[in-house]
Amino acid sequence: MARYFDVHPQDPQRRTIGQAVELIKDGGLVAYPTDSCYALGCQLGNKEGLERIREIRSLDDKHHFTLICRDFSQLGQFVQIDNAIFRSIKAATPGSYTFILPATKEVPRRMLHPKKKTVGARIPDHRVVQALLAELGEPLVSSTLLLPGQEDPMTQGWEIKEALDNQIDAVIDSGDCGPDPTTVVDFRSPQPEIVRRGAGDPSLFE
């Protein structure tokens, strides 16, 4: 049965955040709110956690997992960014965007797209997520909580607990979050390509 953490959206309780992070460090898989919608997250290097996400979402090996980073310093350890791309991403973060970028050697191979060697990365504008990342001290490995056969992600913590009570280890609830996933921008080519239109304003990259 999944644990349920009720967290204040503007002033996250440090003790509750610490308990959630301890669970993540112990190999747990959590559902947590972001500035776009709920996501599934686990610790970097948690092989079993990745497989559980794949199973819950029915994903194949070509799925781009996302590294949820606290800031640009952290993001720069895990993805390759030249100056032009840096300026484009800087103008849109923190925010509801996921960027597809070449991964550095710090990223476990099982997370990478098998042919492109790329990974998703983003810096969210959400106080609860920032509190989790600060306590964890490293990125969260994440994927949008969109279940097979559903067109829209779930937006309520209690609803997620009911649906996934025996498949995840915790739900972090800080109130309703939006139904739209992030806008995804692929930076593998000289011109950025918008591969999914979502919560972030895509006009910044058009």
Question: All domains of the chain, ordered by start, with CATH?
Answer: 3-205 (3.90.870.10)
pLDDT digits (tens, 9 = 90+) for 131-144: 999 999 999 999 99
User: What does the pLDDT read at residue 161?
Assistant: 96
Grouping H, G, I as helix, E, B as strand and the rest as coil, residue 173 is strand
User: What does the pLDDT read at residue 167?
Assistant: 98
pTM of the shown model: 0.95
Q: Count other C-beta atoms under 10 Å from residue 195's C-beta.
A: 12
Q: Count other C-beta atoms under 10 Å from residue 159's C-beta.
A: 13
Task: Name every residue whose Cβ is closer than 8 Å to that of residue 94 and which is 6 or more positions away in sequence.
Answer: 35, 123, 124, 125
CA dist 169 → 73, 127, 152 (Å): 29, 22, 22
Q: With bands split at pLDDT 50, 70 and 90, how would you rate the model's confidence at 171?
A: very high
pLDDT digits (tens, 9 = 90+) for 18-70: 999 999 999 999 999 999 999 999 999 999 999 999 999 999 888 889 999 99
Contact, 38 vs 68, CB < 8 A?
A: no
Residue 112 has pLDDT above 90, yes or no: no
For the ranges 12-21, 76-85, 164-173, the lowest mean pLDDT is seen at 76-85
What is the DSSP pairing of strand 118-122 with strand 66-68? parallel
Residue 101 has pLDDT above 90, yes or no: yes
* DSSP annotation of 147: -
Alpha helices in the chain (DSSP H): 14-25, 47-57, 72-78, 83-92, 127-136, 157-164
User: What does the pLDDT read at residue 147?
Assistant: 94
